[in-house]
Amino acid sequence: MDPRKLFVDERHAAFCVFCGNPPVTREHAASRVLLDDPLPDDLPLVGSCHRCNNSFSLDEEYIACLIDCVLAGSTEPDSISRPKVRAALQHSPSLAARIAACRSNEASGGIMWRPEEDRVRSVIIKLARGHVAHQYGEPQLDEPSRVTILPLVVMTDEQREAFEAVPECPGWPEIGSRAFVNLSVGGDRTYDPESGWNVLQMRRYRYLVAQPVEVEFRVVLSEYLAAEVVW
């Protein structure tokens, strides 16, 4: 068997990796709005139905704009450095107002952001399902057993160390999966051997997928928002 070729169970390809319906199109596992142009070559693609391909767009735009507004401390488009986010806020004043409603000034003089958690959680789980299916060739359609979303800056040193560490996986991934090919032949071009993470875009998007016992997905967006999803 050619170790460079994928031999995944074709029955798993009969499902949209996000909902289980028949896939009629392809979706990027990493939302493009979370990345800068020019986009990286060979972005991971997974099978998707039309509804899932379209239904996450507004939430993905929301989280992309939210992160940059938090980093800038403002929802004013002129304060935003990312062209995609600046254009989205200019195009949709209602989106800017919605994010601004999350912002409050604390008595201490600081700023507190209280985002729409359901929208953020929806996008994080979507990313997790896409990357896990891409790596292991098997959709994770059940509800995750754990979803943790937290800015890196509020983690303790111990939390940060545990989050950054790549889980040790006993044994090998399923033969024929992309995870197996990466391990036996060499990692994807995005794989950083020093950190053990896949870096799709420096300081914009990095992730890892592992299966020590449970299936684990971790992602860091704009070196600010960290998330972990476990099945």
Q: What is the pLDDT of residues 73-101, one digit of tens each?
A: 999 999 999 999 999 999 999 999 999 99
Q: What is the pLDDT of residue 8?
A: 47
Q: How confident is the model at residue 182 (pLDDT cuts 50, 70, 90)?
A: low
Does the pTM surpass 0.85? The reply is yes
Cα–Cα distances in angstroms (integers) from residue 165 to residues 20, 196, 218, in the given order: 31, 8, 10
Q: Mean pLDDT over residues 57-81, rounded? A: 97
Identity of the amino acid at 82: R
Whether 150 shows a pLDDT value over 60: the answer reads yes
Q: How many CB atoms lie within 10 A of CB 136?
A: 20
φ, ψ for residue 120 (rounded to 5)? -65, -45
Q: How confident is the model at residue 42 (pLDDT cuts 50, 70, 90)?
A: confident
Q: DSSP letter string over 138-176?
A: S---SPPSEEEEEEGGGS-HHHHHHHHSPPP-SS-PPTT
Residue 67 · residue 221 · CB < 8 Å? yes
Q: How confident is the model at residue 53 (pLDDT cuts 50, 70, 90)?
A: very high
Share the mean pLDDT of the chain: 88
